[in-house]
């Protein structure tokens, strides 16, 4: 009995010591539940949160770059050349949220890099990508998306698919060109389709955290900066 308490105590102490240690080391992110992305955007734009899981909705916005919608926000464009204007999705709810202490009036007193942001509703459905299963057009299971790579303009270029294996043993990560993915965020079970077969994925080279990875891409439209690779 006494001995049991000793064990229990020791285990608890070890566990909590380690938890505390790790918690200190790590800036944490919460993985979103597998549900569809919430339509409401968080007010704080650059909270410094680098978690791709969290920044999904924001990422989705900043990727449709190039066509800045009628921007009625007099926000400063951050001096960094790679960032473009955040296209404010057509403001459905125009009232500024009360939490926003900074009114968009004085651009001058805002530190560089900060933009004005408001809570708005996404005009279209969006979906969570990380962890989503990917199917071929014929319904084969091709694995799941485990990472998403963007270029210096913030455009998503590559999806990393975790392919194959059994109980986590022997899975390979394959880089595929983003346009090969087809999205269906509107169904009650949002799904991802990849226009490839198992054989094609099987033959592709494994992704090894290379900044210029070899990706599977359609030959006629080779993505600049990423060579299409077929063995």
Partner 1 sequence: MAQADEKAGSVSAAPAGAGRGLDWFNLFVANIQTGFGPFIAVYLSGVGWTQTAIGLALGIGTVSSMASQIPAGALVDIIPDKTRVAAFSVLTFTASALLLAIHPIPLFVYLAEILHGVSSCTLGPATAALSLLLVGRFAMGLRLGRNARYAAIGNGMGAALMGACGQYVSERAVFYLTAALTLPALFALLPLRRLNQADARSDARPPTLPQAGRGSWRLLADRRLLVFCACAMLFTFANAPLLMLISGTLTAHGSNPSLLIAACIVLPQIIVALASPAAGRLAERHGRRIVLIAGFSMLPLRCLVFAATRDPAILVATQALDGIAGAAFGVMLPLIVTDVAGGTRHFNLSLGAVGFGVGIGSTLSTPAAGWMADHVGTRAAFFALAAVGALAVALTVFVMPETRPQPAGGPDEATGSGS
Contact residues for partner 1, defined by CB under 8 A? 3-4, 6-8, 10-11, 14-15, 18-19, 22-23, 26, 28-34, 51-53, 128, 130-131, 133, 144, 146-147, 162-172, 202-203, 206, 208
- Choose between 120 and 200: whose C-beta lies nearer to partner 1: 200
Instruction: Of 56, 43, 59, 72, give the one whose Cα is nearest residue 153.
Output: 59
Alpha carbons 215 and 221: distance in angstroms, whole number: 12
Residue 177: CB partners within 8 Å, gap ≥ 6? 157, 158, 215, 216, 217, 218, 223, 226, 228
Alpha carbons 198 and 142: distance in angstroms, whole number: 6
- Choose between 8 and 230: whose C-beta lies nearer to partner 1: 8
CB of residue 223 vs partner 1: minimum separation in angstroms?
Answer: 22
CB of residue 156 vs partner 1: minimum separation in angstroms?
Answer: 15
- Choose between 117 and 181: whose C-beta lies nearer to partner 1: 181
- Choose between 118 and 173: whose C-beta lies nearer to partner 1: 173
CB of residue 134 vs partner 1: minimum separation in angstroms?
Answer: 12
Residue matched to tokens 């999806």: 159
Alpha carbons 39 and 61: distance in angstroms, whole number: 12
CB of residue 70 vs partner 1: minimum separation in angstroms?
Answer: 34
């Amino acid at each position: 009995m006494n001995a049991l308490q000793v064990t229990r105590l020791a285990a608890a102490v070890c566990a909590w010591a380690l938890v505390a240690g790790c918690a200190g080391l790590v800036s944490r992110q919460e993985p979103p539940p597998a549900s569809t992305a919430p339509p409401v955007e968080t007010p704080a734009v650059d909270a410094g949160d680098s978690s791709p899981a969290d920044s999904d909705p924001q990422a989705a916005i900043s990727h449709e770059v190039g066509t800045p919608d009628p921007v009625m926000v007099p926000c400063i464009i951050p001096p960094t050349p790679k960032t473009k204007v955040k296209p404010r999705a057509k403001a459905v709810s125009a009232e500024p949220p009360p939490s926003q202490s900074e009114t968009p009036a004085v651009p001058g007193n805002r530190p560089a890099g900060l933009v004005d942001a408001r809570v708005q509703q996404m005009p279209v459905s969006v979906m969570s990508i990380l962890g989503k299963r990917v199917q071929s057009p014929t319904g084969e299971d091709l694995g799941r998306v485990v990472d998403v790579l963007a270029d210096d303009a913030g455009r998503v270029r590559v999806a990393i698919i975790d392919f194959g294996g059994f109980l986590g043993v022997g899975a390979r990560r394959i880089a595929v060109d983003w346009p090969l993915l087809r999205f269906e965020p509107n169904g009650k079970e949002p799904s991802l389709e990849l226009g490839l077969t198992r054989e094609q994925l099987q033959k592709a080279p494994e992704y090894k955290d290379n900044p210029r990875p070899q990706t599977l891409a359609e030959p006629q439209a080779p993505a600049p900066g990423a060579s299409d690779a077929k063995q």
